[in-house]
Amino acid sequence: MKSAVAILLLMLTAAQDAPKPPAARPDDVKSIDAIVAALYDVISGPAGQKRDWDRMKSLFVPGARLIPTAASTTGTTARVLDVDGYIQRASATLERDGFFEREVARTMEAFGNIAHVFSTYESRHTLADPTPFARGINSIQLMKDGDRWWVVTVYWDAERPGNPIPSQYLPKAR
């Protein structure tokens, strides 16, 4: 319990110290569907295209975190990044190689002003790629402040040998 309290205090301190994000496009933050679509859209684009990082920042509550996991021989690790840290880490690769990520399935729960979206994704380098080079699940926590939705956390894990996406998180057959 002590570590959970310490993490909460750390996040509250980070939120207080975080700069105010740029103004969001109203259509990006009007609903859960809209903000999740904007989240995927803002990181996607062809090789050579700069991403709109101010738009990305506008989606996230001050103090928000992006947390990729990585499997290693000693277990799984999490790299906790703020939005600027994610941009520094990912921008060159996204812009150099091209990157298109899209949601292919979703499970969601919401209560009051909070929501959790379990969003299965596929990643391609171009829209014409016949198969994705990566798939995984984004665990997205959202908050509504009364006027708009905010991304609080994106925590994700990629599919890999020994870690397939369970069938309940894949698109349903039509």
Minimal CA–CA distance to 66: which of 78, 48, 52, 51?
Answer: 78
pLDDT tens per residue, the chain (174 residues)?
Answer: 555 566 656 666 666 677 889 999 999 999 999 999 999 999 999 999 999 999 999 999 999 999 999 988 888 899 999 999 999 999 999 999 999 999 999 999 999 999 999 999 999 999 999 999 999 999 999 999 999 999 999 999 999 999 999 999 999 866
* Domain-embedded: residue 174: no
The predicted model scores a pTM of 0.89
Cα separation of the two ends of the chain: 45
DSSP track, 91-126:
HHHHHHH-BEEEEEEEEEEEETTEEEEEEEEEEESS
CATH number at residue 109: 3.10.450.50
* Domain-embedded: residue 45: yes
Domain range for 79 is: 2-169
80: helix, strand or coil: coil
Q: Which two tokens stand for residue 131?
A: 């198969």
pLDDT recorded at residue 74: 87
The total domain count for the chain is 1
